[in-house]
Amino acid sequence: MHRQKHLKFLISIFMSTSMILAGCGPSATPTPEILIQTVIVESTPQMIEQQVTPEPTAETFENGDKSALVNLVQDFSYYVSFDPAFNYQEGGGTIIMNVYETLIFYERQFPDRFIPQLATEWEISEDVRTYTFKIREGVQFHGGQDLTPEDVAYSFQRALLQGGSYSPMWLLTEPFFGVGVYDVTYLIDPELEDDPEALVAVDPETLLQTCQQVTDAIVADEEGGTVTLALAQPWAPFLQIIAAGWGSIVDKGWAIEQGVWDGDCGTWQNYYSPEYEANPLHRAMNGTGPYKLDHYKENEELLLLRNENYWRTEPAWEGGPVGPAAVESVTYKVAPQIWAEQFTMIRKGEVDFFPSVAAGRYTEYDPLIGEQCDYNPDTFDFDCSPTENPQEPLRLYRGHPMAGRNDALFKFDIHPEDNFLLGSGELDGEGIPPNFFADEHVRRAFNYCFNFDAYIQEMWQGKAIQNVGVILPGMIGYDPDGSKYSYDLQKCQEEIEQAFDGKIADEGFRVLLPYRINWDWQRIPVEILEDGFWQIDEKYNIDVIGLAASEYWSLYASGRIPILMAAWGEDYHDPHAWVEPFLAGMYASRQSLPEDFTARFSELIDAGISTMDPDERAQIYGEIQQLDYELSIAIRGVVPTGRTYLRGIIEGWYYNPIYFGPYYYVLSIK
């Protein structure tokens, strides 16, 4: 069940790759003395309103005040929360990253290099199962309390015990308790997931033992100033996981006062999987980061203020900032007509950050570019130079690879009941059977009939590359020259004529492929498939239909859609973040992959996550890539390259593909 929520989150992440916040890096892809104001499009239902301070006037943003920036965003969606243990959305992740801090953090633009943050150093045991972190002294939470090892241990314990499928906690339960443990309730019975009432009814001794299993894995040593994390097995990307927002540290005493878990193993079940609005930390924050939450006013604005007592006295990397941020405050505001207002606000100098620009509108914004920065894959940074119009207000960063991708996933066992998408439901030329994609020749034919070049041009204006296999370019095991499908109508015809022992060649087929209205990333791929098969023979019919969101998701949830258009943004920058969900986890389940397929993938996946040797991992993930190609369970999509626009007065921005949004601490205004 946790996978369904994860899907919702990641669709929002992928959609943001075409309108990503300046400063984003997914899941998920570091500020000086500025006020960043963000404008949001849609209201967030039933959010808890905090006490409001006076709103900055419009003149603040037009008078060149170097303590003020405006950031324009689309919305805070319904499930955005400021609780690090609950939030799994882009908007909340950005706020959390700037208010809370983790034991370690990313080294500037690198998603797989780490610097000390709330931990000054760490040791890893020889068997790679135990991590010991030395906790930094002299750090205070925004409320004035000193950071202690107990706060750190409690933060991880509370997060795991709160759990719930709508949270990111499955990213931690697996390394702590083993592959396939997606929630703390799995330690008792997976059927208890998201069922607090049933959990409370469990035998008290079992509940106590479960909590103790969590607290035994995460132990604070106040005298030694350390916290020890004990894993169930070696977990190669563990540091990447705890560097993200869900590894944030909260003040234990303050959190208990707000009404979350009281730290007693006899009561944890009463705090498990809280309802969204009932979560006491949903709109309350008390971190150690460079910014603190001043207020959030429902559907209107959010204001972050600079932490004047910020602890950093030495730069985290060469040239990095120290002391309080140069940006004084960060304001997010709601703008119901964001796409209509954005261009005008940019021209008037009223916004500095804003959702990026859809590919079809590049020509409108390009005349506003005064400086252009091209991504350098050798340095993972940008080389900048002025344009012919250096007086224009925007700087464009372009060419950086995004940390998301969309694929077309074949459903092996399509639910047939009341399913108009299957036509007749038989191979009679007027439909397809529910097991249509169980035939390997059908799957290969659909791969060969997909015009990747047309898709890259139409969807991404040529700014994307075809992905080889299931993992992303540049990762361990990725081979740009590896096996992949290409657009080849002759091979498409040869494969489809072999399907179902030649019956399709005699009868043809007809299938209806839906997409959600206004979602081009779903519409364009199915139209390309429609065109490819039509060119071979008119008896191969793919009809395309746009559906309202409610109808589309109803069909999706019931397993009736023949080809699932999947969007995924990584939670951490490692091959496991891709192979697990697509080949053995959520998406494999959604596709109804045969057990022998998932068993073969799972064996390799478990081997890849369990070794720390880069060469061994490369070999294993190379095997996974090849098997993914041979079984052709999906049409693997393309990786778009980013275009991030922001005002040229902003200095210090860089691209880290794992960031949810801007890390304001590194920014300044020239």
Q: Are residues 277 and 408 in the same domain?
A: no
Query: What's residue 360's pLDDT?
Result: 74
Domain boundary among 260, 281, 302: 281
Residues 277 and 420 occupy one common structural domain: no
- Same-domain pairing of 268 and 409: no
**CA–CA separation, 393 vs 647, rounded Å?**
6
Return contacts of 369-375, CB within 8 angstroms, 24+ apart: 369/394, 369/395, 369/396, 369/645, 370/394, 370/395, 370/648, 371/395, 371/396, 371/648, 372/396, 372/398, 373/397, 373/398, 374/398, 374/399, 375/399, 375/400, 375/401, 375/641, 375/655
**385-405, pLDDT tens digit by residue?**
999 999 999 999 999 988 889
Render pLDDT for 3-24 as a digit per residue (tens, 0 to 9).
Answer: 333 333 333 333 333 332 222 3
Pick from 193, 189, 216: nearest CA to 203: 189
CATH code at position 509:
3.10.105.10
What is the domain range of residue 203?
101-281
**Contact 649/352 with Cβ under 8 angstroms?**
yes
Q: Is residue 366 part of a domain?
A: no
User: Is the per-residue pLDDT at 39 higher than 80?
Assistant: no
Q: What are the pLDDT digits (tens) for 580-610?
A: 989 998 899 999 999 999 999 999 999 999 8
Mean pLDDT, rounded, for 288-299: 91
CATH number of the structural domain spanning residue 246: 3.90.76.10
pLDDT band at residue 60 under the 50/70/90 scheme: very low
pLDDT band at residue 48, thresholds of 50, 70 and 90?
very low
- Asked whether residue 112 is domain-assigned, the answer is yes
Query: Is 386 strand, coil or helix?
Result: strand
Other beta carbons less than 10 A from residue 454's beta carbon = 15
358 falls within a domain: no
Whether 416 and 422 have beta carbons less than 8 Å apart is answered as yes
Nearest to 507 by CA among 394, 423, 569: 423
Residues 547-569 have a mean pLDDT of 91
Above 70 in pLDDT, residue 444? yes
How far is the C-alpha of 467 from the C-alpha of 28, rounded, in Å?
A: 18
375 in a structural domain? no
Residue 394: the pLDDT is 92
Strands, E assignment, 35-103: 35-40, 69-70
Are the CB atoms for 501 and 427 separated by under 8 Å? no
Report yes or no on 220 lying in a domain: yes
> Which parts of 506-580 are beta strand (E)?
509-516, 540-547, 563-569
Q: Output 135-141 pairs: Cβ under 8 A, ≥24 positions apart.
A: 135/225, 135/226, 135/227, 136/311, 137/225, 138/311, 139/288, 139/311, 140/288, 140/309, 140/311, 141/251, 141/254, 141/286, 141/287, 141/288
Tokens of 282: 């949903």
pLDDT at 277: 83
What's the length of the chain?
670
What would the pLDDT profile of 67-111 be if each residue is shown by its tens digit? 767 676 666 665 689 999 999 888 889 999 999 999 999 999 999
Q: Compute how many other C-beta atoms are within 10 angstroms of the C-beta atom of residue 106.
A: 26
How many domains does the chain divide into?
Answer: 2
Task: Name the more confident of 340 and 63.
Answer: 340
In percent, how much of the chain has pLDDT > 70?
A: 88
CB 463 within 8 A of CB 359: yes
- pLDDT above 90 covers what percent of the chain? 69
Report which of residues 26 and 372 the model is more confident about. Answer: 372
Angstrom distance (rounded) from CA 405 to CA 575: 13
- Among 146, 150, 147, 160, smallest CA distance to 242 is for 160
Residue 566 lies in a domain: yes
Q: Which pLDDT does position 625 carry in this prediction?
A: 97
For the entire predicted model, the pTM comes to 0.83
Token pair for residue 378?
Answer: 């050798």
Question: What is the Cα–Cα distance from 168 to 374, expressed in whole angstroms?
Answer: 34
Question: What is the pLDDT, as a whole number, of residue 496?
Answer: 97
In this model, does residue 113 exceed pLDDT 70?
yes
Give 456's pLDDT tier (boundaries 50, 70, 90): very high
Distance, CA of 368 to CA of 626 (rounded, Å) = 45
Q: pLDDT for 543-552, tens place per residue?
A: 999 999 889 9
Give tens-digit pLDDT for 486-522: 999 999 999 999 999 999 999 999 999 999 998 888 9
User: What would the mean pLDDT of 428-456 be, rounded to a whole number?
Assistant: 97
Q: How far apart (Å, rounded) are the C-alpha atoms in residues 468 and 226?
A: 43
Q: How confident is the model at residue 256 (pLDDT cuts 50, 70, 90)?
A: very high
Give the residue-averaged pLDDT of 127-142.
Answer: 97
Look at residue 589 and tell me if it is in a domain. Answer: no
Q: Is 537 a domain residue? A: yes
Checking if the pLDDT of 330 tops 70, the result is yes
The CA distance from 212 to 200, in Å, is: 16
Q: Strand 104-107 vs strand 110-116: parallel, antiparallel, or unpaired? A: antiparallel
Q: How far is residue 321's CA from residue 652's CA, in Å, rounded to a whole number? A: 10
Helix, strand counts (H, E) of the chain: 21, 23
pLDDT for residue 667: 93
Residues 502 and 493: their CA atoms lie apart, in Å, by 11
Q: Which residue has the tokens 């999947």?
A: 566
Residue 211's closest CA among 274, 150, 155, 157?
157
Task: Say whether both 414 and 273 belong to one domain.
Answer: no
Token pair recorded at residue 349: 């100098």
Integer Cα distance of 114 and 106 in angstroms: 5
Handedness of CA 12, 18, 24, 25 (dihedral sign): positive
- Looking at residue 336, its pLDDT comes to 67
First to last CA, the chain: 49
